[in-house]
Structure 1
Amino acid sequence: MAKRVCRYVCAFIFLIIGLALIFLSLFLLPVLRDAFVNKSLHSDAVLKEGSVAFKEWKSPGSAVYYVISVYNVTNADNVMNTKAKPNVTELGPYYYREHKNKTNVTFTDNGKVVKYKLHDMYVFDRTKTASHLDPDKDLITCLNVPYMAVVDQYIKGKLNYVELLGLKALAKDPSVFIKHTVTELVWGYQDSLTEFLHKDNKLPSSTFGLFANDSSADWTSYSSVRTGIDDLNSVGQFVSWRGKNSLSYWNGTYANMINGTDGTFFHPHLHNQEDVVVFVDSLYRSTNLTHQANVSQYSISLYRYVIPKWELQNRTVYSANSMWYANWFWGLLNLSAPLSAPVFMSKPHFLDADPEFLTNVTGMKNPEAEQDDTMMDAEPLTGFVFNVHKRLQVNVRLQQHSTTLNALGVSNVRDTLVPVAYIDQTASANKTTCDEFRDKVYKPIEIVNDVRWGLVGLGGAMTAVSVILLGYWMFRSRKRGYEPLSSLPRLSTQDV
């Protein structure tokens, strides 16, 4: 009898241990794992000295390139005199290595905010650019953008006829089209017209270029972002940009807000149903990115985010975009307010734009989403961005307007957009970086998960063995006529 009781007791203990292991594995270990992950994120995903995020934010580990292609207009005379469609040929791509240097980094508000000055510099990469391309020698014909700014100001009534003639006299080349090297067009040139317009507060700089290299504005003004130590969801969010807490270019408080991160990373624990927000300094505004697909890079699962089409709709289709003066065709971002020139951004080759723009230009290839769309691939657990292609095309509006003696030079032109250049600001984590990330972030989680499911298996096996043995012994007891354990006499305190 004692032997049989001992057998049952051991089986019950075995059963309880098995159930306990299953409970521990399914309910307690995930809590401990998540606590470990959150502790790690608070250590490495916030902006503080020594964290992984701070190191990447201050000086990106992956090489960042500006890949630039320009459009050369081959029939400028016909465009000006016969309303011909611009015919363009593409030159490029020209590769420039981007070097970001954040200086004067200072933590404020008890470590909740970090402020800094940003220095952007771009260095031509001869090794990546085709040998027949030389940006210092390659000449292109393109719209004279500073002069187009003067034309735009006159058409809008901000200049009178006498002022127009005076500005034309100041211009180095007062024609609608102008020739420049790729370097001059991309990084800037100076002439008497741009100098005068800058002094008269009609242009933001005395030098005109599509992009700024070694910008003094960034050296002299502080920007600031949230560190995330008090709220992980706020990490990297802009507080101010170039000394401004809000902008003044757009129509309304919301449009002038400086929201989002700079795109280096997002907040941890991303969900594929949520949009993320980035502040794009080259567009002078914040924009939403929406989840498009799940992708992977060197076995790291990533969320791919793209610009939603509604961000590029005009106000007749999406009324909220009237805040950003989306008054023309769809597929454009109107930058005439911040740049004081009729500049419109689109996706390269007018991807997702009104087909009229593509039909009004000859020589341009058809758009391809894989090559022309902006995309950012972020790892959902940490919010770190592993792959990015920020693709934008610069276009300038050529407006037909009749004046005395064709003073503007645009009496016989077609009212259309003329593409000038497009860029792909790109960076991608290499295999070494991805391997290090997996070892540091994924491997501890994988070990915990392996232990968890191992314990589930062990607990399940112990439970199954216990149930089988108890069932077998109870079956044998009944078959041999033994009384079940429940019918055995129980000891009381009086029997002791």
Structure 2
Amino acid sequence: MFNTIRFEYEFIKVMTELLADSVDDNKLFIRLSVHDIIWGYRDTILHKVKEELQELDIPFDDQFGFFYKLNNTDDGVWNIESGKNGIATNFDIRFWNGNSNLNFWTTKQTNLMNGTDGNLFHPFIKKTDHPPFFFSELCRSMTVDFQRESSVRGIDTYRFAHPRNIFDSPDKNPANEGFCTPRGSCLPNGLYNISVCRKGSPFSVSMPHFLYADESVIRGVDGMKPDVSLHETYMDLMQDIGCVLRTERKYQINILIRNNPSFQIVKNIPDVYFPVFWFNESTIVTDDWVDFIKSSYQTPVKIASSIPYVSIATGVLITAISSIAIYKQRRKSKDMLPKNQHESPTENTSLLVN
């Protein structure tokens, strides 16, 4: 709230300060359960505003949560490519909620919904590919790069992960220029501003523990220990069919706390990007699906791939058997000739044999 009104007229700041002071438990930090911060809780200041507006018959919601009113809901209607126009675009998003692009960002490129929804990709993924996917919860498209070969429950896969510069500012990653909102107002490396697609809430996204972020951001909060092995977002793809067998999407939600001399509660603190929570959306293929993939795809492919070698071996064996049979037949015929027919003819050899 204090961030939102810091450029407003002075009388608005005064009214806000009075409102904050009128709340008994007004604090800079409050302790909440994971359930409340995600799905919603009654905010004391918002509740005070609601009480005042009720006298004017103006509806006002005093609940706040990052996914407030989103529990047990979906994120809309998706229209995807069927593969009719080629396997390279198979499962790519055509429309989301009737729109072919977004309207949050400041460039055409960043408003595109590139790739799939991140659960399926086109078949025959190569190590040199950078498959894109659209993540609706973060209101943007992103890419992943090949990291290494991996395995999921006995099935060979390729591991793809976000590049280090996925959330970097335009000076390091020019493709992110359109995510600076307002135009030209960019966050430090490793942070991504999502306030424009979250109804103005002053949130930013990063990797957990500010992985890959600027050192100044990491040092701003005690206890940050970024670790690639713990905080990296990745997916394990079955490259032949483009199916994701395991994924871990890890992101951190942060709020910018600014120093503001106009408000007692924040006038003595430095500017800091403060972590609110980080989450891990993890999925892994079930045993039933593993059995299905192995029986319906891997086993037939192995059989089909072995047919040429079996055919070659069979051909070699038949040729060898035939050669041996012909050799034995000729040897047998030669042994049946009269003895003198085995001798080499000379000039004295009779032309007629009795």
Q: Number of paired residues?
A: 318
Identify the residue that residue 152 of structure 1 maps to in structure 2.
Answer: 3
Q: CA deviation at 1:256?
A: 0.9
Query: Structure 1 residues 323, 408: CA separation in 2 closer, same or farther (over 3 Å shift)?
Result: farther
Supply the distance in 2 between the matched residues of 1:481 and 1:305 (Cα, whole angstroms).
77
Q: How does 1:72-91 map to 2 (within 5 A)?
A: none
* 1:411 paired to 2:267: yes
Q: CA deviation at 1:290?
A: 1.0
Supply the distance in 2 between the matched residues of 1:266 and 1:247 (Cα, whole angstroms).
21
Query: Structure 1 residues 408, 318: CA separation in 2 closer, same or farther (over 3 Å shift)?
Result: farther
Structure 2 SS opposite 1:432: helix
Supply the distance in 1 between the matched residues of 2:326 and 2:190 (Cα, whole angstroms).
72
Supply the distance in 1 between the matched residues of 2:125 and 2:133 (Cα, whole angstroms).
14
Q: CA deviation at 1:233?
A: 3.0
Given candidates 151, 154, 177, the residue that maps to 2:29 is 177
Contact kept? 1:276, 1:288, Cα under 8 Å: yes
Identify the residue that residue 337 of structure 1 maps to in structure 2.
Answer: 196
Is the deviation greater in 323-332 or in 275-284?
A: 323-332
Q: CA deviation at 1:273?
A: 0.8
Structure 2 SS opposite 1:303: strand
Supply the distance in 1 between the matched residues of 2:188 and 2:207 (Cα, whole angstroms).
14
Query: Structure 1 residues 467, 438: CA separation in 2 closer, same or farther (over 3 Å shift)?
Result: same
Contact kept? 1:167, 1:193, Cα under 8 Å: no
Q: How does 1:315-334 map to 2 (within 5 A)?
A: 315-325=170-180, 327-334=186-193
Identify the residue that residue 164 of structure 1 maps to in structure 2.
Answer: 13
Matched AA of 1:210: F
Identify the residue that residue 306 of structure 1 maps to in structure 2.
Answer: 161
Q: CA deviation at 1:464?
A: 5.7
Supply the distance in 2 between the matched residues of 1:224 and 1:268 (Cα, whole angstroms).
19
Is there any run of 5+ residues in structure 1 with no aligned partner, and where?
1-149, 200-204, 483-496
Contact kept? 1:175, 1:409, Cα under 8 Å: yes
Supply the distance in 2 between the matched residues of 1:470 and 1:311 (Cα, whole angstroms).
70
Q: State the identity %.
A: 24
Q: CA deviation at 1:285?
A: 0.4
| Aligned-pair Cα RMSD in Å | 3.3
Identify the residue that residue 361 of structure 1 maps to in structure 2.
Answer: 221
* 1:273 paired to 2:128: yes
Q: CA deviation at 1:288?
A: 0.7
Contact kept? 2:39, 2:70, Cα under 8 Å: no
Identify the residue that residue 58 of structure 2 maps to in structure 1.
Answer: none
Structure 2 SS opposite 1:377: strand
Q: How does 1:250-269 map to 2 (within 5 A)?
A: 250-269=105-124
Q: CA deviation at 1:217?
A: 7.7
Identify the residue that residue 422 of structure 1 maps to in structure 2.
Answer: 278
Supply the distance in 2 between the matched residues of 1:164 and 1:241 (Cα, whole angstroms).
40
Identify the residue that residue 292 of structure 2 maps to in structure 1.
Answer: 436
Supply the distance in 1 between the matched residues of 2:99 and 2:113 (Cα, whole angstroms).
9
Query: Structure 1 residues 212, 436: CA separation in 2 closer, same or farther (over 3 Å shift)?
Result: farther
Is there any run of 5+ residues in structure 2 with no aligned partner, and where?
54-60, 335-341, 345-354
Supply the distance in 1 between the matched residues of 2:240 and 2:68 (Cα, whole angstroms).
34
Matched AA of 1:343: F
* 1:453 paired to 2:309: yes
Supply the distance in 1 between the matched residues of 2:69 and 2:173 (Cα, whole angstroms).
35
Identify the residue that residue 238 of structure 2 maps to in structure 1.
Answer: 379
Structure 1 SS opposite 2:30: strand
TM value normalised by structure 2: 0.78
- Structure with higher Rg: it is 2
Supply the distance in 2 between the matched residues of 1:277 and 1:230 (Cα, whole angstroms).
18
Query: Structure 1 residues 472, 185: CA separation in 2 closer, same or farther (over 3 Å shift)?
Result: same
Query: Structure 1 residues 251, 378: CA separation in 2 closer, same or farther (over 3 Å shift)?
Result: same
Identify the residue that residue 83 of structure 2 maps to in structure 1.
Answer: 228
Contact kept? 1:152, 1:342, Cα under 8 Å: yes
Query: Structure 1 residues 344, 262: CA separation in 2 closer, same or farther (over 3 Å shift)?
Result: same
Q: CA deviation at 1:175?
A: 3.7
Question: How big is each residue's C-alpha offset from its partner over 1:232-264, in whole Å with a ceiling of 9 and x where there is no partner?
Answer: 333332223244332222111110112222212
